[in-house]
Amino acid sequence: LQYHAGLASSLLNQQSLKRSANQMGTSAKRRPKVQPSTLALPTQYVDDVISRIGRMFPDMSIELFRPNGTSAVLLVTLGKVLKAIVVMRSLFIDRTIVRGYHENVYLEDKKLDIWSKSNYQAFQKVTDHATTALLHYQLPQMPDVVVRSFMTWLRSYIKLFQTPCQRCGKYLQEGLPPTWRDFRTLEAFHDTCRQ
């Protein structure tokens, strides 16, 4: 949004009307034009980073789609546990939707469904935690490290239904497995046990 706003501002400044330019006075003419800062990385670089991450985790398959040309959408299949759709702008993760392994991730026209949430409460919780993880793993100077860290965190769900909570030791609490994963240690916790 910031990038597009910068582009729109520079285009409007280039084609300003004489009447509005006179009203703005000389102070507007002295102000330097702000160049939009682009966060776009070459698509080949993004593809290389994703393929390296895919090779790091043999139990995680990553399919790369480019529905709008440059932005990437990843379909991450984690064992036989879950499927995650990761929507990216260059190497910056915008959003993640997590669904069960047997849930459909495609629309009728064979495009990835990036909006519908899972039918299962456990995967809805994992989606919420993935959104929190996106906010936690922020390092704009090194986006490849952010993607690798996020994928490492996501991979910790490979034993979602086999790992007990680190605090209470139970596998289920209120019918749900421990869906929270600590960002540093990747240990599993129930929502109520992690505080």
**How does pLDDT run across 145-161, given as a tens digit for each residue?**
999 999 999 999 999 99
- The single residue listed with the structure tokens 């409007």 is 12
The edge-to-edge listing of strands for the beta sheet with 92-100 is 60-65, 72-78, 82-89, 92-100
pTM: 0.77
Higher pLDDT, 63 or 195: 63
Lowest mean pLDDT among 18-27, 81-90, 114-123: 18-27
Tokens of 36: 């939009």
Q: Does residue 60 have a pLDDT over 50?
A: yes
Higher pLDDT, 20 or 61: 61
Lowest mean pLDDT among 20-24, 77-81, 168-172: 20-24
Closest among 56, 51, 60, 110 to 84, alpha carbons compared: 60
Angle between helices 121-136 and 143-155 (to 10 degrees): 150
Q: What is the pLDDT of residue 105?
A: 95
Q: What is the pLDDT of residue 70?
A: 74
Q: Does residue 93 have a pLDDT over 80?
A: yes
Q: What is the pLDDT of residue 6?
A: 79
Closest among 136, 139, 121 to 179, alpha carbons compared: 121
Q: What is the pLDDT of residue 31?
A: 52
